[in-house]
Amino acid sequence: MTDVRSEVLGIVSMVIEKEIKDIPLDAHLIQEVGADSMMALEILAALEKKYRVIIPEEKLKEMTTVNKIINMIESARKRK
C-alpha cells in the first residue's frame, strides 16, 4: 500500500468514523459508504492541511471515491 493511499484512507476513516476495511477504494463515499457532503468537506480540509496543497472548490464534487481522492492528491502535489 502506498503512503498516500494509507494516509488518505486514514483521514477518510477518521472523518467518517468507519474502519479502513469497510471503505473499498472504489466505493462511492456518499452513496455507498455513508459519508455526507460535510464529511467530504472535512476530508478536503484535512488533506489540504496534511499535503499543503490547495484543492479548488469544483474538485469537491469529484471526490467521490478514495481512489479519486488519491489521484487528486497526487496530481495536486505534482502541480506544486
Does 61 contact other proteins by CB under 8 A? yes
CB of residue 1 to other proteins, shortest distance in Å: 27
Q: Would you give the binding string for other proteins spanning residues 15-54, x where CB under 8 A is met?
A: ---------------xx----xxx-xxx-xx--xx-----
Q: 21 or 80, CB closer to other proteins?
A: 80
Other CB atoms within 10 Å distance of the CB of residue 12: 25
Residue with cell 505534482: 78
Is 68 within 8 Å of 11 (Cβ atoms)?
A: no
CB of residue 67 to other proteins, shortest distance in Å: 18
Does 72 contact other proteins by CB under 8 A? no
Q: Which of 31, 34, 40, 33 is nearest to 62 (CA)?
A: 40
C-alpha cell at 47: 488533506
